[in-house]
Structure 1
């Protein structure tokens, strides 16, 4: 289990983020300026709506403090490669999805450490772990932002090679994600079973509400259906691997996956139970 926490988990996240970088282009970042409306709505739902809904659910379901912090960690994570893939399958605007994932991932390096420290203190009080915000930010920078920038650089200077590499890395990223989730749940099986009846409903409701909210706000502000699909999936599908990793990083010398990571690990399964039927419904619209 030590190797999963100290080596495999950060490596898996770095490869997943590298895959994201390979799918990015400079044009994706320019789109933020040239088409600000859709991006602003998508960014607002990710940065404001998701944490708000997650916080309400932690209160309604009376989650234990450590699991409540884990729920907020998940909510603070941006969308990931999975959201981009599901957007493509749903017939959504992939470029907008990638733009949102890329930009919010950059912002998360700053926002996640600060807000995780805040919510840990809020829910746990004196029992909260001592979180070194700077160290957590540096760790996130190294295992998320650096791989994204390397992938972006390869895509910028050798596009054909990047596209070939992306096909391979994307498959590896999916396999690593599955291994991380299965390993996380296996190592915390008793804790998982003890909290499944509370965690699973809360996470499924989180998924359903956020997917529906994404569509609602896209229609409210007059966006196209492809834009609405992208925003819905970016809002409703979080980077579970990042959530698991952050949860383990805030516990010093963790030899097993802590409860802070459990909501993200369970979410890695429940999100497909909700999102795949949602994608199939979107394909027909």
Structure 2
């Protein structure tokens, strides 16, 4: 289990982020300047609205401290390749989805370590593990930001190679995602069973609420329907693999996944169930 957590997990996330980066171009980052209104609304929804709504949900359900931290870690994570895929299925603005994912993923090296350190102390108090913001930021850079940048560079300088390898990387990333989610669940199975009565409903309600609020915020900003769909999805869909990895980095456990990883692991399954009716509705319009 220690090899899984200390080696396989970070390496898997790096591969997943590489698969994200290899599908990006430098134009995806520049596009935010051409659609500043849509990007700003999407960024505000992800960086501010999402954590605030998650915090309110955690308090409303009275979740245990480690579980509460796990919820907050999940809320700090960007969408990743999953949100791009779901935006495509929903017939949303895929270009906007990709741009949001690209920029927010790079910004997460700054936002996530600071917010994660605050959450641990806020919810766990004296029982909180020591969290070095600097060490967490370096780890975030190595396993998220750097692979994305490498992927973008491969796409730019070896476009044909990137085009050939992208489908394979996407399949590998999907398999790794499933393995990580199942491993985190298996490592906390009894805790999962004991907390299922609150954990499941809290995640499902939070997910549905965020999808709805993202849509409402986009429509209030008078965005076109395609962009509104994407803002909804980017607000409601997070990178569960990053949430699990953050939990492992913060807890420092080498013998098993900590309880902080449980919300992201369960969310890795429930998000598809919750998103399905939204996607079906989006596709019909």
Considering the TM-score relative to the shorter chain, is it more than 0.5?
yes
Counterpart position of 1:220 = 220
Counterpart position of 2:79 = 79
Counterpart-to-counterpart distance in 2, 1:75 and 1:168: 29
Counterpart-to-counterpart distance in 2, 1:197 and 1:141: 36
Counterpart position of 1:108 = 108
Q: TM-score of the superposition, structure 2-length normalised? A: 0.98
Counterpart position of 1:20 = 20
Q: What does 1:223-262 align with in structure 2 at a 5 Å threshold?
A: 223-262=223-262
How far apart are 1:127 and its partner, in Å?
Answer: 1.0
How far apart are 1:277 and its partner, in Å?
Answer: 2.1
Indicate the SS of the match to 1:250. helix
Counterpart position of 1:31 = 31
* Structure 1: segments with no counterpart, 5+ residues: none
Q: TM-score of the superposition, structure 1-length normalised? A: 0.98
Q: Does 1:143 pair with 2:143?
A: yes
Indicate the SS of the match to 2:256. coil
Counterpart-to-counterpart distance in 1, 2:77 and 2:31: 22
Counterpart-to-counterpart distance in 2, 1:214 and 1:201: 20
Q: Does 1:168 pair with 2:182?
A: no
Indicate the SS of the match to 1:164. helix
Deviations 1:133-191 (A, max 9, x none): 11111001000011000100011112222121111100110111001001110111101
Indicate the SS of the match to 1:91. coil
Segments ≥4 residues shifted beyond 2 Å: none
How far apart are 1:197 and its partner, in Å?
Answer: 1.0
Counterpart-to-counterpart distance in 2, 1:194 and 1:210: 26
Counterpart position of 1:204 = 204
How far apart are 1:253 and its partner, in Å?
Answer: 4.2
Counterpart-to-counterpart distance in 2, 1:55 and 1:195: 18
Indicate the SS of the match to 1:238. coil
For the aligned residue pairs, the C-alpha RMSD in angstroms reads 0.9
Counterpart-to-counterpart distance in 1, 2:277 and 2:199: 20
Counterpart-to-counterpart distance in 1, 2:25 and 2:147: 14
